[in-house]
Structure 1
């Protein structure tokens, strides 16, 4: 029976984490760039509703 290659598995996990982190940062940058777009308007009423509920 072959022995497991833990180094390979670790490297694959690291690459997956790095890719996910980069995608997350890219999405965050897009949201920030489009802050003045329709998404920002949708967020504002939610925040006001939460504030008035107290």
Structure 2
């Protein structure tokens, strides 16, 4: 199966981290929408999003 790009809103919590670990382990690229500071790791990145506006 080809790798996918998955966006997870609120992915920095317990369930989001678990899902991110599973997805990156199978080769997918993950973007986490978070209210916190942007970060990145192996196969994932987070971007700041206020949860209300379209642009973040």
TM tier relative to shorter chain: under 0.3
Which of the two has greater strand per residue?
A: 2
User: Relative contact order: is structure 1 or structure 2 higher (C-alpha 8 Å, sep ≥ 6)?
Assistant: 2
The two structures have a TM-score, normalised by structure 1, of 0.28
